[in-house]
Amino acid sequence: MSARDEYALALELLRMRAQQDFATWWAAKEQGRVTLEQLRAVFADITRDYGEVAASAAVDYLILERSLDESLAGLGFPDRADPVGFEQAVASFDWAVNTSREGGVLNSAVARRKLDGVLVRLVGAPAHETVVVNARRDGRAFARVPEPGACAFCLMLASRGAVYASRHTAGAADAGERFHDHCRCLVIECKRDGSDLPRINRDLEAAWAESGARNRAEFEKYIKLRGEVGGSPWPPLERVNVPEYAGDGTSKVFPGEPLPKDLNRAVAHVLYGWRDTPLKGGMWVKHSEDSRMGHTWDSQRAKASKFPKSWSNQKIADAVVEALENPTNALAYGQRREVWLAKEEVIIQVRYVIIRGQAKMLDAYPVDSIPKRARK
Protein backbone atom coordinates (compact mmCIF):
# COMPACT_ATOMS: atom_id res chain seq x y z
CA MET A 1 0.00 0.00 0.00
CA SER A 2 1.37 3.43 -0.93
CA ALA A 3 1.93 6.23 1.58
CA ARG A 4 -1.06 8.08 0.10
CA ASP A 5 -3.33 5.07 0.41
CA GLU A 6 -2.25 4.45 4.00
CA TYR A 7 -2.90 8.11 4.81
CA ALA A 8 -6.34 8.03 3.21
CA LEU A 9 -7.23 4.90 5.17
CA ALA A 10 -5.96 6.41 8.42
CA LEU A 11 -8.12 9.51 7.96
CA GLU A 12 -11.18 7.45 7.15
CA LEU A 13 -10.73 5.32 10.28
CA LEU A 14 -10.36 8.45 12.41
CA ARG A 15 -13.55 9.94 11.01
CA MET A 16 -15.44 6.73 11.65
CA ARG A 17 -14.18 6.45 15.22
CA ALA A 18 -15.07 10.07 15.90
CA GLN A 19 -18.60 9.38 14.66
CA GLN A 20 -18.81 6.24 16.78
CA ASP A 21 -17.72 8.10 19.91
CA PHE A 22 -20.21 10.84 19.24
CA ALA A 23 -22.95 8.25 18.64
CA THR A 24 -22.41 6.91 22.15
CA TRP A 25 -22.82 10.36 23.65
CA TRP A 26 -25.83 11.08 21.45
CA ALA A 27 -27.51 7.92 22.72
CA ALA A 28 -26.87 9.12 26.28
CA LYS A 29 -28.55 12.41 25.39
CA GLU A 30 -31.54 10.57 23.96
CA GLN A 31 -31.80 8.60 27.22
CA GLY A 32 -31.76 11.80 29.24
CA ARG A 33 -28.40 11.09 30.87
CA VAL A 34 -26.66 14.01 29.10
CA THR A 35 -28.02 17.48 28.37
CA LEU A 36 -27.74 19.15 24.99
CA GLU A 37 -25.39 21.73 26.50
CA GLN A 38 -23.12 18.98 27.82
CA LEU A 39 -23.22 17.26 24.44
CA ARG A 40 -22.16 20.54 22.86
CA ALA A 41 -18.93 20.56 24.89
CA VAL A 42 -18.33 16.88 24.19
CA PHE A 43 -18.67 17.52 20.46
CA ALA A 44 -15.91 20.15 20.66
CA ASP A 45 -13.69 17.73 22.60
CA ILE A 46 -14.15 14.98 20.02
CA THR A 47 -13.30 17.27 17.11
CA ARG A 48 -10.21 18.47 18.96
CA ASP A 49 -8.94 15.02 19.99
CA TYR A 50 -9.47 13.31 16.66
CA GLY A 51 -8.34 16.40 14.77
CA GLU A 52 -4.99 16.28 16.55
CA VAL A 53 -4.51 12.65 15.56
CA ALA A 54 -5.55 13.44 11.98
CA ALA A 55 -2.97 16.22 11.76
CA SER A 56 -0.32 13.82 13.11
CA ALA A 57 -1.33 11.30 10.44
CA ALA A 58 -0.74 14.00 7.83
CA VAL A 59 2.74 14.63 9.25
CA ASP A 60 3.51 10.90 9.09
CA TYR A 61 2.28 10.81 5.51
CA LEU A 62 4.52 13.71 4.48
CA ILE A 63 7.57 12.17 6.17
CA LEU A 64 7.03 8.82 4.47
CA GLU A 65 6.15 10.29 1.08
CA ARG A 66 9.18 12.57 1.08
CA SER A 67 11.52 9.82 2.25
CA LEU A 68 10.94 8.05 -1.06
CA ASP A 69 12.46 10.97 -3.02
CA GLU A 70 16.13 11.77 -2.42
CA SER A 71 15.70 15.30 -3.80
CA LEU A 72 13.44 16.10 -0.82
CA ALA A 73 15.86 14.88 1.83
CA GLY A 74 16.86 18.40 2.85
CA LEU A 75 13.35 19.60 3.66
CA GLY A 76 12.56 20.46 7.27
CA PHE A 77 10.38 18.40 9.56
CA PRO A 78 6.71 18.99 8.74
CA ASP A 79 4.75 21.34 10.99
CA ARG A 80 1.50 20.01 12.43
CA ALA A 81 -1.59 22.19 12.15
CA ASP A 82 -3.79 22.79 15.18
CA PRO A 83 -7.23 21.21 15.40
CA VAL A 84 -10.26 23.44 14.97
CA GLY A 85 -10.89 25.68 17.97
CA PHE A 86 -13.65 25.37 20.52
CA GLU A 87 -15.58 28.34 19.14
CA GLN A 88 -15.64 26.95 15.61
CA ALA A 89 -16.69 23.51 16.82
CA VAL A 90 -19.57 24.73 18.98
CA ALA A 91 -20.69 27.18 16.31
CA SER A 92 -20.97 24.27 13.87
CA PHE A 93 -22.80 22.25 16.52
CA ASP A 94 -25.25 25.08 17.13
CA TRP A 95 -25.90 25.47 13.41
CA ALA A 96 -26.68 21.76 13.00
CA VAL A 97 -29.03 21.74 15.98
CA ASN A 98 -30.78 25.04 15.30
CA THR A 99 -31.44 24.21 11.65
CA SER A 100 -32.94 20.85 12.66
CA ARG A 101 -35.86 22.26 14.64
CA GLU A 102 -39.38 22.01 13.30
CA GLY A 103 -41.84 24.27 15.08
CA GLY A 104 -39.38 24.65 17.92
CA VAL A 105 -39.03 20.86 18.35
CA LEU A 106 -35.67 19.23 17.62
CA ASN A 107 -35.74 16.60 14.89
CA SER A 108 -33.12 14.28 16.36
CA ALA A 109 -32.60 12.23 13.21
CA VAL A 110 -31.92 15.32 11.09
CA ALA A 111 -29.65 16.87 13.72
CA ARG A 112 -27.66 13.66 14.13
CA ARG A 113 -27.16 13.34 10.37
CA LYS A 114 -25.95 16.95 10.11
CA LEU A 115 -23.58 16.58 13.06
CA ASP A 116 -22.07 13.43 11.56
CA GLY A 117 -21.30 15.45 8.43
CA VAL A 118 -19.82 18.30 10.44
CA LEU A 119 -17.58 15.83 12.30
CA VAL A 120 -16.19 14.48 9.05
CA ARG A 121 -15.28 17.99 7.94
CA LEU A 122 -13.83 19.24 11.24
CA VAL A 123 -11.78 16.12 12.00
CA GLY A 124 -10.21 16.21 8.55
CA ALA A 125 -9.59 19.97 8.51
CA PRO A 126 -6.26 20.00 10.45
CA ALA A 127 -4.95 17.13 8.31
CA HIS A 128 -5.71 19.03 5.10
CA GLU A 129 -4.19 22.19 6.55
CA THR A 130 -1.04 20.31 7.54
CA VAL A 131 -0.44 19.18 3.98
CA VAL A 132 -1.19 22.59 2.46
CA VAL A 133 0.94 24.59 4.92
CA ASN A 134 3.99 22.34 4.54
CA ALA A 135 3.69 22.15 0.76
CA ARG A 136 3.68 25.94 0.58
CA ARG A 137 6.48 26.30 3.11
CA ASP A 138 8.74 23.92 1.23
CA GLY A 139 8.03 25.04 -2.32
CA ARG A 140 5.97 21.99 -3.15
CA ALA A 141 2.41 21.74 -4.47
CA PHE A 142 -0.79 20.15 -3.26
CA ALA A 143 -3.87 18.73 -4.92
CA ARG A 144 -7.33 17.59 -3.96
CA VAL A 145 -8.14 13.94 -4.70
CA PRO A 146 -11.92 13.46 -4.87
CA GLU A 147 -13.58 10.60 -3.06
CA PRO A 148 -15.55 8.05 -5.13
CA GLY A 149 -18.90 9.58 -6.02
CA ALA A 150 -17.69 13.08 -5.17
CA CYS A 151 -20.01 16.00 -5.84
CA ALA A 152 -19.53 18.35 -8.80
CA PHE A 153 -18.09 21.04 -6.50
CA CYS A 154 -15.31 18.72 -5.30
CA LEU A 155 -14.61 17.47 -8.83
CA MET A 156 -14.24 21.07 -9.94
CA LEU A 157 -11.68 21.75 -7.20
CA ALA A 158 -9.83 18.53 -8.04
CA SER A 159 -9.56 19.76 -11.64
CA ARG A 160 -7.20 22.52 -10.45
CA GLY A 161 -4.40 19.96 -10.53
CA ALA A 162 -1.18 20.86 -8.75
CA VAL A 163 -1.61 24.08 -6.73
CA TYR A 164 1.32 26.05 -5.36
CA ALA A 165 1.96 29.38 -3.70
CA SER A 166 2.94 31.34 -6.81
CA ARG A 167 0.06 30.03 -8.89
CA HIS A 168 -2.58 32.72 -9.16
CA THR A 169 -5.36 30.70 -10.75
CA ALA A 170 -8.65 31.99 -9.37
CA GLY A 171 -9.91 29.68 -6.69
CA ALA A 172 -6.90 27.36 -6.92
CA ALA A 173 -6.21 27.47 -3.18
CA ASP A 174 -9.77 26.29 -2.55
CA ALA A 175 -8.62 22.82 -3.65
CA GLY A 176 -7.02 22.39 -0.25
CA GLU A 177 -9.04 24.72 1.94
CA ARG A 178 -12.76 24.39 1.14
CA PHE A 179 -14.66 21.32 2.29
CA HIS A 180 -18.35 20.69 2.84
CA ASP A 181 -19.94 18.51 5.50
CA HIS A 182 -19.63 14.76 4.84
CA CYS A 183 -16.72 15.45 2.43
CA ARG A 184 -14.11 12.70 2.40
CA CYS A 185 -11.85 14.11 -0.30
CA LEU A 186 -8.10 13.98 0.34
CA VAL A 187 -5.40 16.64 0.07
CA ILE A 188 -2.05 15.28 -1.07
CA GLU A 189 1.37 16.75 -1.67
CA CYS A 190 2.70 16.58 -5.22
CA LYS A 191 5.27 17.99 -7.59
CA ARG A 192 4.71 21.49 -8.93
CA ASP A 193 4.49 20.17 -12.50
CA GLY A 194 1.79 17.71 -11.47
CA SER A 195 3.65 14.77 -13.02
CA ASP A 196 2.85 12.55 -10.04
CA LEU A 197 -0.83 13.44 -9.82
CA PRO A 198 -3.34 10.57 -9.65
CA ARG A 199 -5.16 9.69 -12.88
CA ILE A 200 -8.43 11.17 -11.61
CA ASN A 201 -6.86 14.62 -11.28
CA ARG A 202 -5.34 14.48 -14.75
CA ASP A 203 -8.69 13.44 -16.23
CA LEU A 204 -10.54 16.21 -14.41
CA GLU A 205 -7.96 18.78 -15.49
CA ALA A 206 -8.57 17.70 -19.07
CA ALA A 207 -12.32 17.89 -18.51
CA TRP A 208 -12.01 21.49 -17.31
CA ALA A 209 -10.22 22.46 -20.52
CA GLU A 210 -12.65 20.52 -22.69
CA SER A 211 -15.70 22.01 -21.00
CA GLY A 212 -14.81 25.56 -21.98
CA ALA A 213 -16.19 26.58 -18.59
CA ARG A 214 -15.61 30.19 -17.57
CA ASN A 215 -16.56 29.71 -13.94
CA ARG A 216 -17.36 27.10 -11.33
CA ALA A 217 -21.08 26.99 -12.06
CA GLU A 218 -20.51 26.16 -15.72
CA PHE A 219 -18.04 23.39 -14.88
CA GLU A 220 -20.35 21.90 -12.27
CA LYS A 221 -23.12 21.83 -14.88
CA TYR A 222 -20.77 20.20 -17.39
CA ILE A 223 -19.70 17.50 -14.92
CA LYS A 224 -23.29 16.71 -13.99
CA LEU A 225 -24.33 16.42 -17.63
CA ARG A 226 -21.26 14.38 -18.47
CA GLY A 227 -22.10 12.01 -15.65
CA GLU A 228 -25.60 11.54 -17.05
CA VAL A 229 -24.49 10.73 -20.58
CA GLY A 230 -21.60 8.50 -19.49
CA GLY A 231 -18.12 8.18 -20.90
CA SER A 232 -18.64 5.68 -23.71
CA PRO A 233 -16.56 6.32 -26.86
CA TRP A 234 -18.16 7.61 -30.03
CA PRO A 235 -18.91 4.91 -32.63
CA PRO A 236 -16.68 4.83 -35.73
CA LEU A 237 -18.02 6.61 -38.79
CA GLU A 238 -19.10 4.43 -41.70
CA ARG A 239 -20.30 6.84 -44.41
CA VAL A 240 -17.14 8.95 -44.44
CA ASN A 241 -13.52 7.89 -44.58
CA VAL A 242 -11.82 9.50 -41.59
CA PRO A 243 -8.50 10.81 -42.96
CA GLU A 244 -5.15 10.08 -41.41
CA TYR A 245 -2.27 12.48 -40.95
CA ALA A 246 0.20 12.52 -43.81
CA GLY A 247 3.04 13.16 -41.37
CA ASP A 248 3.97 11.84 -37.93
CA GLY A 249 1.03 13.39 -36.06
CA THR A 250 2.94 16.33 -34.60
CA SER A 251 2.21 20.00 -35.15
CA LYS A 252 4.12 22.03 -37.71
CA VAL A 253 3.20 25.34 -36.09
CA PHE A 254 3.69 24.28 -32.47
CA PRO A 255 6.97 22.34 -32.73
CA GLY A 256 7.15 19.16 -30.70
CA GLU A 257 3.48 19.14 -29.76
CA PRO A 258 1.19 16.26 -30.71
CA LEU A 259 -1.96 16.68 -32.76
CA PRO A 260 -5.29 15.15 -31.67
CA LYS A 261 -5.32 11.39 -32.28
CA ASP A 262 -9.09 10.89 -32.28
CA LEU A 263 -9.86 12.20 -35.75
CA ASN A 264 -13.12 10.24 -35.76
CA ARG A 265 -14.27 12.60 -33.01
CA ALA A 266 -13.21 15.68 -34.94
CA VAL A 267 -15.05 14.63 -38.10
CA ALA A 268 -18.18 13.40 -36.28
CA HIS A 269 -18.54 16.71 -34.49
CA VAL A 270 -18.15 18.96 -37.51
CA LEU A 271 -20.39 16.85 -39.78
CA TYR A 272 -23.09 15.61 -37.44
CA GLY A 273 -22.76 17.72 -34.31
CA TRP A 274 -21.99 14.82 -31.99
CA ARG A 275 -21.10 15.90 -28.48
CA ASP A 276 -20.96 14.64 -24.88
CA THR A 277 -23.36 17.25 -23.51
CA PRO A 278 -26.75 18.52 -24.67
CA LEU A 279 -27.25 21.66 -26.71
CA LYS A 280 -28.63 24.77 -25.07
CA GLY A 281 -32.20 24.03 -24.16
CA GLY A 282 -31.41 20.46 -23.12
CA MET A 283 -31.70 18.68 -26.48
CA TRP A 284 -29.33 15.75 -27.02
CA VAL A 285 -27.69 15.02 -30.36
CA LYS A 286 -27.81 11.33 -31.18
CA HIS A 287 -24.55 9.68 -32.18
CA SER A 288 -26.01 8.83 -35.56
CA GLU A 289 -24.81 9.72 -39.04
CA ASP A 290 -28.37 10.77 -39.79
CA SER A 291 -28.00 13.70 -37.39
CA ARG A 292 -27.95 17.10 -39.03
CA MET A 293 -26.68 19.14 -36.11
CA GLY A 294 -23.15 19.86 -37.32
CA HIS A 295 -21.86 22.40 -39.82
CA THR A 296 -22.87 20.91 -43.18
CA TRP A 297 -24.91 23.03 -45.59
CA ASP A 298 -28.14 21.35 -44.47
CA SER A 299 -27.51 21.59 -40.72
CA GLN A 300 -30.65 21.96 -38.63
CA ARG A 301 -28.85 23.49 -35.68
CA ALA A 302 -29.85 27.09 -35.10
CA LYS A 303 -27.12 29.67 -35.71
CA ALA A 304 -24.56 27.06 -36.77
CA SER A 305 -21.99 28.26 -39.29
CA LYS A 306 -22.23 26.15 -42.45
CA PHE A 307 -19.99 24.87 -45.19
CA PRO A 308 -21.12 25.56 -48.77
CA LYS A 309 -23.52 23.09 -50.41
CA SER A 310 -20.78 22.30 -52.93
CA TRP A 311 -18.63 20.82 -50.14
CA SER A 312 -19.28 17.12 -49.67
CA ASN A 313 -18.97 15.47 -46.26
CA GLN A 314 -15.73 13.85 -47.35
CA LYS A 315 -14.29 17.16 -48.48
CA ILE A 316 -15.15 18.70 -45.09
CA ALA A 317 -13.54 15.78 -43.26
CA ASP A 318 -10.37 16.05 -45.33
CA ALA A 319 -10.21 19.82 -44.79
CA VAL A 320 -10.49 19.52 -41.00
CA VAL A 321 -7.51 17.16 -40.85
CA GLU A 322 -5.60 19.35 -43.29
CA ALA A 323 -6.25 22.36 -41.05
CA LEU A 324 -4.76 20.50 -38.10
CA GLU A 325 -1.69 19.36 -39.98
CA ASN A 326 -1.05 22.28 -42.36
CA PRO A 327 -2.80 25.40 -41.04
CA THR A 328 -2.33 28.79 -42.62
CA ASN A 329 -2.63 30.55 -39.25
CA ALA A 330 -2.32 29.54 -35.60
CA LEU A 331 -2.81 30.89 -32.10
CA ALA A 332 -1.93 29.52 -28.65
CA TYR A 333 -3.02 30.70 -25.23
CA GLY A 334 -2.62 28.60 -22.13
CA GLN A 335 -3.49 25.01 -22.93
CA ARG A 336 -5.67 25.94 -25.89
CA ARG A 337 -4.60 25.75 -29.53
CA GLU A 338 -6.49 27.28 -32.44
CA VAL A 339 -5.61 26.81 -36.09
CA TRP A 340 -7.14 28.08 -39.31
CA LEU A 341 -7.03 26.92 -42.90
CA ALA A 342 -8.07 29.14 -45.79
CA LYS A 343 -9.18 26.74 -48.53
CA GLU A 344 -10.92 27.94 -51.66
CA GLU A 345 -13.72 30.25 -50.47
CA VAL A 346 -13.90 28.79 -46.96
CA ILE A 347 -12.00 29.46 -43.72
CA ILE A 348 -11.94 26.53 -41.30
CA GLN A 349 -11.15 26.95 -37.59
CA VAL A 350 -10.14 23.98 -35.44
CA ARG A 351 -9.67 24.11 -31.66
CA TYR A 352 -7.99 21.62 -29.33
CA VAL A 353 -6.21 21.54 -25.99
CA ILE A 354 -2.90 20.15 -24.73
CA ILE A 355 -3.25 18.28 -21.42
CA ARG A 356 -0.31 16.39 -19.90
CA GLY A 357 1.37 16.16 -23.28
CA GLN A 358 -1.74 14.85 -25.04
CA ALA A 359 -3.87 16.75 -27.58
CA LYS A 360 -7.64 16.50 -27.16
CA MET A 361 -10.04 17.74 -29.80
CA LEU A 362 -12.61 20.44 -28.99
CA ASP A 363 -14.39 21.46 -32.20
CA ALA A 364 -14.10 22.56 -35.83
CA TYR A 365 -16.30 24.80 -37.97
CA PRO A 366 -16.24 27.41 -40.77
CA VAL A 367 -15.71 31.05 -39.81
CA ASP A 368 -15.91 34.39 -41.58
CA SER A 369 -12.37 35.58 -40.90
CA ILE A 370 -9.04 34.89 -39.22
CA PRO A 371 -8.10 37.06 -36.20
CA LYS A 372 -5.26 39.48 -36.89
CA ARG A 373 -3.39 38.19 -33.84
CA ALA A 374 -3.21 34.67 -35.31
CA ARG A 375 0.29 34.18 -36.63
CA LYS A 376 1.08 32.76 -40.05
pLDDT of residue 171: 45
CA 190, 196, 200, 201 torsion-angle sign = positive
- Give the alpha-carbon dihedral of 148, 151, 155, 157, to 10 degrees: -120
d(CA 220, CA 205): 13
Give me the pLDDT at residue 356, please.
66
pLDDT of residue 226: 58
Point out the residues of the chain with pLDDT beneath 50.
167-171, 228-232
Beta bridge partners of 322: none
Handedness of CA 317, 272, 287, 341 (dihedral sign): positive
Alpha carbons 305 and 49: distance in angstroms, whole number:
62
Contact 93, 43 (CB under 8 A): yes
CA proximity to 260, closest of 192, 196, 336, 188: 336
Per the CB < 8 A criterion, the answer to whether 267 and 259 are in contact is no
Cα–Cα distance, 16 to 2 (Å, whole number): 21
- As a whole number of angstroms, the distance between CA 242 and CA 164 comes to 42
Instruction: Collect all residues with Cβ–Cβ distance below 8 Å to 247 and sequence separation of at least 6.
Output: 325
**What's the confidence (pLDDT) of residue 165?**
59
Task: Give the total residue count for the chain.
Answer: 376
CB 175 within 8 A of CB 144: yes
The pLDDT value recorded for residue 281 is 59
